[in-house]
Chain A
Amino acid sequence: MPVEVRMPNILRPLAGGEPAVTAEGATLREVFEDLVRRYPALGPSLLTTDGDMHRHLNVFLNDDDVRYLGRLDAKVGDTDTVTLMPAVAGG
């Protein structure tokens, strides 16, 4: 079953221009791999050459930062929403 992936403005041009796209996978890694299959240009924004998450990309699974849910191994269900957000400073 597909999950919804919400795109920030800066990544939309790399993924068909829509604010949200769908992708399939039971873990975040599988969702990212499916996204890169569908939108190859997104690849470097999601994953480093070592296959880890991009340092400046915050990924939220239903508002929860996946860095504290097992990172790329975080389990994703078909009612979940993945939100991608660039890391920016406050203060």
Chain B
Amino acid sequence: MARYDNVLDTIGNTPLVDISELSPNPRARLLIKLEGLNPAGSVKDRAAKAMIEEAEKNGSLQPGQRILESSSGNTAAGLAMIARVKGYPFTAVVPENVSMERTKLLRAFGAEMISSPAAEGSNGAMRRAQDLAEQHPEWWFSFQYGNPANPKAHYEGTGPEIWRDCPEITHFVAGLGTTGTIIGVGTFLKERNPSVSIWGVQPPAGEAVEGLKNLDAGFIPPVFTDNDGYSLLDRSRVVGPRDSIEWVRRLAEVGIFAGISSGAALAGAARCASEIDEGTVVTLSPDGGWKYLSTDVWEGDLDDVAERARHELYF
């Protein structure tokens, strides 16, 4: 059915597309789930909706109460859209080095924005949001890094959709941000078939890492540790900006216009495909390419683009 009562009902049920022509191994199929087709443009619509609706249900979010979150863009966009529809004011703490499309999108949905220093990345934005939450106990802080509704959205939505559309899956490869996607999907898939391998991809954090004052200022999302992520994952790899951009361009060759973190996830999935004998590798594209048009990802020398990407927060 393609008629909906409300835009929020269009979140999820995204297409899973076979892109095996990009697989480096003829015996490994490669499929990608296009989360950029969610209404506010990313996989984060799922977590945003789940966090808000769970808080409405348990009474921690009251009608008209201000919602607060820190985000490099996608979670904020999802929350801003849903907050607009449901009538909540919304404040997003956003690092100042996110692409201009992200801040414009947030403005489109009427969000209030507070900037945090570029050099502190998502960690800095999160700390600023935590301070604000303490100063404003009357606001509701969704805290995507520790909110159980975040992985639950993927356990109840993304995971079952992948299993329904591709029960022959042997490997699931996804990027690690809040880790909500990989925890929720990975837990669901392993329950259905314990032999499914779960591979994480860590996009390099560029200047965000360089801005850390010391190692103790580092951060591992409670969503990951509370759900025993180290036991759930079978493998985890880091993918650099150059590989990410190369693979985002390859996605365009098969007609898929995706964001940079999709390139990172696909680079990880392609490596997975090249290392296995045979199987079906499913990965996930967190968002479309629209929010990265100003970064010239699709044109120019790969090394120049990769160097620019280091200065921008894209996951």
Residues of A whose CB lies within 8 Å of any CB of B are 8-11, 45, 54-58, 60, 63-65, 67-68, 83, 85-91
Q: How distant is the Cα of A64 from the Cα of B233 in the complex, in angstroms? A: 13
Q: Does B237 contact A (CB under 8 A)?
A: yes
Q: Beyond A54-B215, A67-B236: 14 further Cβ-contacts under 8 Å?
A: A8-B210, A10-B215, A56-B216, A57-B215, A67-B230, A68-B236, A85-B204, A85-B238, A86-B215, A87-B220, A89-B123, A89-B177, A91-B44, A91-B315
Interface presence of B218 (CB below 8 A): yes
Task: Considering the complex, give the chain A residue whose CB is closest to the CB of B207.
Answer: A9
Q: Does the CB pair B178–A63 fall under 8 Å? A: no
Instruction: Known contacts A63-B238, A65-B238; decide if A91 and B75 are in contact (CB<8 Å).
Output: yes
Using Cβ atoms and an 8 Å threshold, which residues of chain A touch B144?
91
CB neighbours (8 Å) of B233 from chain A are 68
Q: Are B237 and A90 in contact (CB under 8 A)?
A: no
Q: Which residue of B lies closest to A55 (CB)?
A: B220
**27 pairs from A and B in contact (CB 8 Å cutoff):** A8-B209, A9-B209, A9-B210, A10-B213, A10-B215, A11-B215, A45-B215, A56-B215, A56-B217, A60-B237, A63-B237, A65-B202, A65-B235, A65-B236, A65-B237, A65-B238, A67-B236, A85-B238, A88-B205, A88-B208, A88-B219, A89-B121, A89-B126, A89-B145, A89-B178, A90-B205, A91-B122
Q: A88-B123, A89-B177, A90-B122 in contact; A60/B216 too (CB < 8 A)? A: no
| CB pair A91 B219 closer than 8 Å | no
CB-CB < 8 A to A67: which residues of B? Answer: 230, 236
The minimal Cβ–Cβ distance linking A80 to chain B, given in whole angstroms, is 14
CA separation between A11 and B74, bound complex, in Å?
A: 31
Total A-B contacts with CB atoms under 8 angstroms apart: 101
Quick one: closest B residue to A69, CB to CB? B235
Please name the residue on chain A nearest to B219 by beta carbon.
A89
Chain A to chain B: the 7 pairs with minimum beta-carbon distance, closest first? A56-B218, A90-B177, A65-B236, A91-B177, A91-B178, A90-B315, A87-B218
Cross-chain contact of B235 among A11, A68, A88 (Cβ < 8 A): A68
